[in-house]
Amino acid sequence: MRIMVCGAGGFLGGEIAGRLEMAGHEVLRAVRRPARQGEVEVDFGRMLGVEDWLPLLRSVDAVVNAAGILMERGGQRFDAIHHRAPAALFAACARSGVSRVLQISALGVESGQSAYFTSKLAADTFLMSCPIGWQVLRPGLVYGPRGKSASFFRLLASSPLLPLPSGGKQPLRAVHIDDVAEAALRLLDPATPARQCVALVGAEICTYRQMLAYYRAAMGFPPAWTFPMPAWAMRLAASLGEHLPGSLLTRDTLSMLEAGNTTDDGASRQLLQRPPRGVSDFVSAAEAETARVQALASWRPMLLRLALAAVWLGTALVCLFVYPRSGSLALLADVGLQGAPALAAFHGAVLLDLGMGLATLFRPGRRLWLAQMLLVAAYSIVIAIALPAFLAHPFGPVLKNLPILAILFLLYAEERRP
């Protein structure tokens, strides 16, 4: 069959597309930014009409919709990407005579209250009303070596100190990406009865705490210290996480975790015609060392950024509220600044420190790290020339700029964003 996979640039869609190709199908990968042969451009944020999809469906036998977002960013909205664009796609499939449509949904959409769940459910409901051979697959929490959520949980599991929301008692039944891809292949098979809604889960029910313990043991770490995280602290962390680039912790994802994610595995066994994999078998021996190295490496930019932000913000707050203003102005006098220029320099430096600290948290990037390196180097040179006593100070205030420059160099070298 010729199958169009929407969201093929993402984790789920990419794995499903690869499994379909291995089975001998011709796959048309629908992605936001085509970069290779066999890819076509689609934008779920703006392709909200049936006419937008019809040209792509010529000679297409089946469609898989695996496009989705875990949180709203910029112009990306749940209603458009999860509901309105898929509904237009499904209607276009019905008009074009596409024989089968597979919607990759999520376990828990029928009872979940988050915008993520309600938008997914709206698309499921619309598809089920279409006069077409539809299939809806609702996997639980999906694990895969390249999955963002799996990487995030391995990152958490690698910490020697684990904060557990509500004690980590939430029941989960995670499913391996290989089983998701296999289930998709079977649901697209013309021999499989159409118009099914299948909840796909793994073989084992475990708590959130147990899942992290499995991952930690598989990566070769000793048992971690754990402590229950109060609900108010988790909500605060989730509210802050919504504004941090790359964060997977938001109020929606926290509410989904708190609700748990599990169901009976009977439908999974029937569809796969075998038992699904369990969480204790997710991290294979061949993947363990790579997973360990990646988890530890993931901590580095986060910790370095937090340390830098603390230095910038702490310096600004100390200058404003702790250190005597007269002392700061006396230091500026030694540099040759007095009166209005000194006050302007003082307030400008405080604002600059505040800006650098906030940018470190919320707008990281190579240009920021380069600017901070130049600023720290400039501060160091000015102090060395105008205030040479600090070079021989027992607390080494100027020498401590060297490890800060090293941190900035590492962030600059490893940063992928401009």
Tokens of 310: 């603390």
| Verdict on whether the full-model pTM lies above 0.85 | no
* CA 46 from centroid of its chain's CA atoms: 23
Pairwise CA distance, residues 412 & 302, whole Å: 13
Dump pLDDT digits (tens) for 44-74: 999 999 999 999 999 999 999 999 998 887 7
Confirm if 94 and 132 have CB atoms less than 8 A apart. Answer: yes
pLDDT computed for residue 93 by the predictor: 98
Answer whether residue 168 shows pLDDT above 70: yes
- In angstroms, the Cα distances linking 333 to 85, 88, 314, 342, 380 are 63, 68, 23, 7, 17
- Domain 2-283 falls in which CATH fold? Rossmann fold (3.40.50)
Answer whether residue 234 shows pLDDT above 90: no
User: CA dihedral defined by 145, 146, 151, 157, rounded to 10 degrees?
Assistant: 10
List the chain domain ranges.
2-283, 301-414
Dump pLDDT digits (tens) for 176-185: 999 999 999 9
